[in-house]
Amino acid sequence: MRETEHISVAIVGSGGAGALTAGNFLLEAASRVGWHGLLTRTVGPQIRGGEAAALLRLASRPVECLADRLDLLVGIDWLNVDHFGPEIEVGPQSLVVTDPASGGLPAFVSRAGARSAEIPIKDIAKSVPDGRPNMVALGVAAGVLGLSEEDLSAAIEKRLAEKGDNAIEASKAALKAGIIAAAQLDLGLRLPTPKTRETQRWLVSGNEMTGLGAIRGGVRFAAAYPITPASEILEWLAPSLAKLGGVLFQAEDELAAINMAIGASFGGTPALTATSGPGLSLMTETIGLATATEIPVVIVDVMRAGPSTGIPTKSEQADLNIAVYGLHGDAPHLVLAPQSISDCLFTTQWAAYLAEVLQSPAVVLSDQFIGQAVAAIDRPADVAFIGRRVTAVPQTGVYKRYAVAGGGVSPMAIPGMPGGQYTADGLTHNERGTPTSNENDHRVQLDKRRSKLEQFSYGDHWATLEGDGEVAVITWGSLTGAAREAVNQLRAGGFAVRLIAPRLLLPAQPERLRAALAGVNRVLIVEQTHGGQYYRYLRAHYDLPVEVRLLNRPGPLPIRPSEIARAVMEWRL
């Protein structure tokens, strides 16, 4: 039995077998025991009854990406498993548990030369009153990992509480039977004994952290139009905002949603909406309105594979262009990108802060991978900053909403303030807000809106900068975790590589990137797009060394650490 840093497990099943539920239980149990973990899932196109796989990676340190291949694969059944393709990869060292009732092993398992073991999951389930196959499969996986019934019982009791005692008992019995059946299996790997936890552990998805970040950042109004994979942000915010005295309001479409958010913000309530690529496309006109009228608003785009309707359930990073360039006219605004599930909290909170302080829309580019994945993380620190918009109103004279003063941020009157009446206008306006076509007014306001963003001091949060060396890996968003793992691997092998991952994409920070790249003569850009959007963005806004290479691939497959490491190593030669 070899000790290892990470173990990757998957449970696969179809037709309502409950593979995803089993995966949830497994992650929760592992977290209670003290391991970190990341759970993602991959599903077929059906709404019910489709093929589903829960993919888990457990470790003694925080997990931010998936491994190259699975160590353990438990198949409740193998129906349509080919649809998953390389998302479920096994190798000669992997152990695949199969139910003889499912027929033979799928071709991809035999091709990979993986070890296999047979456990009659369905029969075992039938032998337990009301036993379900997914609970047996869970028991098998748990047993292989060294988890006990007690480790799992808390999770089962909590999640099945509303289904009643019978369901709980039946699940526990099926689980126990699975654990017993797993006794014969030997994965050959084990994780280190978990250390006692100093910090509280949370089990959260990126979408939930996005919602919490918004709330911590002061957001108390959200306009909602559902879209995969962003809906969970809104679903979490609905009761949460209500409990805080705020409002989540369902809109008839994305056009209404962004307008509602701006209306609420105009009225003084920090506001947010969340969507995905198709929704962001619809919203661009009104985001431009927020830019022109200098109204704070947060727009979260949980990116999915595009273009057009694309692959709603898969991740990609190809909304960068529209987030950065999608507004008509010259419309500087904020674009930020969280780098992990826990960073969704910080980055969204920071986005709300910046939006309020700079009176600007802020687009937060999350993606399906971190949005919908669930991780066991250390409780994030309480970063107590809430952005407050400047709202003083002059005592006498005509109020100039868009007065040009130092820094470019002008005090914003809120309806209810006497003497502060003004009409916010998308038409080009003068300092007072009155529409104008005058060349000087136009220039003055364009300068104001640009300089307020460019002159602001964003601090060290603007990017993740780690390591040293002449080679740098530049990436962003959810790929940061995979890049970090690759860079750590290379460093452990004696090869120094820097990791650079901006969290603030707009306004660009050329001076700061120049400093970060001092001494770097080769840059590997890593992104999950087909067209190299990030590469072109970097080229457009930053000076890069002469030697630049691009490692890019569109969704649905995540880019793995080993691919990044290999790309760096190949270049070295």
- Interacting residue ranges for another protein, rule: CB under 8 A: 28, 31-32, 200-204, 208, 212, 215-216, 220-221, 223, 240-247, 249, 251-253, 255-257, 259-269, 271, 285-286, 289, 293, 376, 379, 413, 415-427, 434-435
- CB 328 within 8 Å of CB 288: yes
CA angle 117, 123, 80 (to 5 degrees): 65
Distance between CA 547 and CA 524 in Å, rounded?
Answer: 9
Helices (H), 301-363: 320-325, 341-358
Cis amide linkage into residue 307, ω under 30° from 0: yes
SS3 of 287, please?
helix
- For residue 217, give both structure tokens: 């950042």
The distance of closest approach from Cβ of residue 396 to another protein in the complex, given in angstroms and rounded to an integer, is 15
Name the residue nearer to another protein (CB basis): 420 or 531: 420
The distance of closest approach from Cβ of residue 287 to another protein in the complex, given in angstroms and rounded to an integer, is 10
The distance of closest approach from Cβ of residue 442 to another protein in the complex, given in angstroms and rounded to an integer, is 15
Name the residue nearer to another protein (CB basis): 115 or 400: 400
Q: How far is CA 343 from CA 89, 280, 291, 319, 550, in A?
A: 28, 22, 26, 19, 25
The distance of closest approach from Cβ of residue 386 to another protein in the complex, given in angstroms and rounded to an integer, is 11
In terms of DSSP bridges, do strands 504-506 and 334-336 run parallel, antiparallel, or are they unpaired? antiparallel
The distance of closest approach from Cβ of residue 274 to another protein in the complex, given in angstroms and rounded to an integer, is 15
The distance of closest approach from Cβ of residue 485 to another protein in the complex, given in angstroms and rounded to an integer, is 25
- In DSSP notation, 146-174 reads T--HHHHHHHHHHHTGGG-HHHHHHHHHH
CB neighbour list of residue 103: distance below 8 Å, 6 or more residues apart: 78
The distance of closest approach from Cβ of residue 53 to another protein in the complex, given in angstroms and rounded to an integer, is 24
CA nearest 36: which of 209, 201, 207, 210? Answer: 201
- In DSSP notation, 198-215 reads SSPEEEEEHHHHHHHHHH
Query: Dihedral of CA 414/416/418/421: which sign?
Result: positive
The distance of closest approach from Cβ of residue 207 to another protein in the complex, given in angstroms and rounded to an integer, is 12
Name the residue nearer to another protein (CB basis): 218 or 554: 218
Beta-bridge mates of residue 95: 72, 115
The distance of closest approach from Cβ of residue 234 to another protein in the complex, given in angstroms and rounded to an integer, is 14
Q: Which phi and psi angles does 527 have, rounded to 5°? A: -155, 155
The distance of closest approach from Cβ of residue 326 to another protein in the complex, given in angstroms and rounded to an integer, is 15
Name the residue nearer to another protein (CB basis): 384 or 573: 384
Burial class from Cβ neighbours inside 10 Å (0-12, 13-18, 19+) for residue 285 reads middle
Q: How far is CA 167 from CA 131, 161, 195, 550, in A?
A: 9, 9, 33, 52
Name the residue nearer to another protein (CB basis): 12 or 258: 258
The distance of closest approach from Cβ of residue 288 to another protein in the complex, given in angstroms and rounded to an integer, is 8
Name the residue nearer to another protein (CB basis): 145 or 264: 264
- CB 402 within 8 Å of CB 433: yes
Name the residue nearer to another protein (CB basis): 386 or 550: 386
Name the residue nearer to another protein (CB basis): 34 or 545: 34
Name the residue nearer to another protein (CB basis): 267 or 394: 267
The distance of closest approach from Cβ of residue 423 to another protein in the complex, given in angstroms and rounded to an integer, is 3
Name the residue nearer to another protein (CB basis): 50 or 420: 420
Name the residue nearer to another protein (CB basis): 268 or 531: 268
Name the residue nearer to another protein (CB basis): 87 or 425: 425
Cis amide linkage into residue 86, ω under 30° from 0: no
- Give helix 479-492 / helix 561-572 axis angle, nearest 10°: 50
- For residue 317, give both structure tokens: 């990073």
